[in-house]
Structure 1
């Protein structure tokens, strides 16, 4: 049965760090809104228990209006251990922090899945999995990366039970007792390999690069290091520091430069600092081997690999996990109406955004990783929640206020001048 509700000024799609941060600021400004999605859903279901965040704890704060509820505050209130840099942030602790943030600032998250979004007479018509239809004047997409998983073309013909993407896990229990190959060199690959090894699973790591790289262990930095390569919430160096602090300026750069910065090599592929000792010397790592083809045979998957010398190698496993990252492509958001999709101007698959995170479709906004090609690499990190939450909440409050009906004044309410 279809259920209809009154219109809402702003619909926020996604209840992860970006959606929660924006909703907290909208609520503080009194902007009418609703936020839809499973609370911290991707963090709960698409990342394995035991994973460590690559970002420093001090750079993993959600954005609240008064800057009062940082991760450090959360840990202090609960007598939990906390260090800005010298300890890793476990996934479970970050999820707990997100849940506490939601209870404090965003009490009305609605656990619904958007099924269709289409234009409708000056607004947007959003249909959800429970049949409810919501008419929204503005829609903000804070959908994260899960819809944009990138798989190598060599996997296209494999049976689905023989391979997966690193973003398909949650629990690793289904892999117990199997022989696993992880393909990739970033933090997802090294994290999965270490966690599987520690569960007693037979696992190997196949890396195309000649070296498996990890972030450096936290340590006190000299004055010279701090001056020549200042620390930022997304990495060290003047370029990353500028990207972290001034995303609005990044948007003014040329398209090619913005795209290069969004995918800057300094950010990876790179394993987390605290995972190196859990991988090197423990997990078998095959370096410099590029994937040529795959084949299913007798319930197993065969990988055909080639090394730098041109020599061919074959590997066999029960299951292959491709930790091959993500590539934003809004066409993969199945809920977007085809007409709406055609109206969105794109930059290499990602929406081209205005200074107010607005697409070429008036009233449709994107924040989070999907905005990186416009605002730079900070959008790929939790640290980046600060910018769109504050800027977009202020913009929407101002824009929507202009459309509020003015209070009607009756003659007897007028001030009588002498």
Structure 2
């Protein structure tokens, strides 16, 4: 058996959060090895490289990564500018990966297909924590090697495992057979994928920021070629979350995204079909008809030339099947994090500070970080992931004081579950009286006022707090 102390910490994924984890490990002098399945670092980011982030540079870089870059003469982009995904790669992630310290520990084209303990499957308990982790690594040549690690930080993300078109989380009938007419995520309809959408009828399914970006790009394409037409289908009927908080959003570009989308629907440039759950896709003369359930019964949409499925992603749980994980039963996030981010209960754009304690599992030394730590929950910001890995790396290093000193203040969306209209009747704006002041370390106005009076915890009315929240921190 190999001694744990001599082994590296394995980081799975060389995206923004994975590279930040490596930077923190390097800063602490801990051995690290980074595994990236793609041909280059940040392969998933490059896939949506045409999309402009609604968060500025100041929210998109990590402290340890910046320090490493600056030690090699890197000049930080202007903090208030908003990069595209490609900008993020070219101006930050690529230079970071090319620093000598990082280049020595990153392996691309290395897909981790499974993780276990040396000589122990999921069932064995005795001495489990003393056994190294074993990573099954594929280099795409048909062979699998086994690497050992002292600890594992899973920052592999969810981008490559999108949710299906079909409602209920399973493929719609005909979805696989008509894959040639279907794209997932955020295709580059103004760039590399333009020929597939120009002059065509496209159905976009989804009610998040990804869907909004696709719809706005399609509208720009329609301005150039009026033959282009756009249909938007959503499973829900209340679209306030995707339309956003407008000027109440503390990230102005995020608020503008929702406002611009609402204007397209109101003007008739986008045909909205709300309350539509897709069940079947049928091929018709080179196009497709989409069948779905509505409150009024079965309805068909189409024919359309293309379908864009922007219904979010889900974590790949096969990777960790032989590990002991404690997951939220419906979000598939870290269990302790689930109540803080559950969109069924609250969505104010802010998440209470959390770190190694909420991200750990019953498997000692294993942590899920980044967007994968959110499971199926939406609205993850990179800033969250950077604070996660700072805390996790401190815990791995044995610096529990630093690991517990967590600071996370996220910009509010201006939209909460408490201010969404019910049956068409507008509710009061903001959460518990409106968004918290921009500089307040609080989830909403009531919370900010309570903290100003020296009170602890959330200042919201306890009667309004969701039952699932384990403690009164966070937004009601």
Matched-pair contact (CA < 8 Å) for 1:191–1:275: no
**Structural mapping, 1:263-282, within 5 Å:** 272=257, 276=261, 279=264, 281=267
Structure 1 residues 140 and 385, CA, compared in 2 at 3 Å: closer, same or farther? same
**Structural mapping, 1:107-256, within 5 Å:** 107-108=103-104, 109-111=106-108, 112-121=110-119, 122-130=131-139, 131-154=144-167, 155-158=171-174, 159=177, 160-166=179-185, 171-173=192-194, 175-177=196-198, 178-199=200-221, 200=225, 201-207=228-234, 208-209=236-237, 211=239, 213-215=242-244
Q: Does 1:391 align with 2:413?
A: no
Q: Does 1:344 align with 2:334?
A: no
Structure 1 residues 126 and 313, CA, compared in 2 at 3 Å: closer, same or farther? closer
Matched-pair contact (CA < 8 Å) for 1:181–1:204: yes
* Residues 248-267 of structure 1, C-alpha deviations (whole Å, 9 max, x = no match): xxxxxxxxxxxxxxxxxxxx
Q: Does 1:95 align with 2:79?
A: no
Deviation at 1:106, TM superposition (A): 2.5
* Residues 311-366 of structure 1, C-alpha deviations (whole Å, 9 max, x = no match): 945322122112111344xxx34333x4x14x322212234366173211122211
Matched-pair contact (CA < 8 Å) for 1:140–1:367: yes
Deviation at 1:52, TM superposition (A): 1.5
SS in structure 1 of the partner of residue 359 of structure 2: coil
Matched-pair contact (CA < 8 Å) for 1:9–1:31: yes
**Structural mapping, 1:45-56, within 5 Å:** 45=47, 47=48, 49-56=49-56
In structure 2, runs of 5+ residues without a counterpart are 120-130, 337-355, 400-476
Deviation at 1:168, TM superposition (A): 7.1
Structure 1 residues 274 and 51, CA, compared in 2 at 3 Å: closer, same or farther? farther
**Residue 319 (structure 2) aligns with:** 335
SS in structure 1 of the partner of residue 319 of structure 2: coil
Structure 1 residues 204 and 115, CA, compared in 2 at 3 Å: closer, same or farther? same
Deviation at 1:283, TM superposition (A): 4.0
SS in structure 2 of the partner of residue 398 of structure 1: coil
* Residues 340-396 of structure 1, C-alpha deviations (whole Å, 9 max, x = no match): 14x32221223436617321112221111232379x988x21111332222222222
**Residue 256 (structure 1) aligns with:** none
Deviation at 1:138, TM superposition (A): 1.0
Structure 1 residues 350 and 127, CA, compared in 2 at 3 Å: closer, same or farther? same
CA distance, structure 2, for counterparts of residue 137 and residue 387 of structure 1: 22
In structure 1, runs of 5+ residues without a counterpart are 1-5, 219-224, 237-267, 400-418
What is the total number of aligned residue pairs between the two structures?
Answer: 332
Structure 1 residues 60 and 148, CA, compared in 2 at 3 Å: closer, same or farther? same
Structure 1 residues 92 and 289, CA, compared in 2 at 3 Å: closer, same or farther? same
SS in structure 1 of the partner of residue 389 of structure 2: helix
Larger RCO, structures 1/2 (Cα 8 Å, 6+ apart)? 1
SS in structure 2 of the partner of residue 150 of structure 1: coil
Deviation at 1:68, TM superposition (A): 7.9
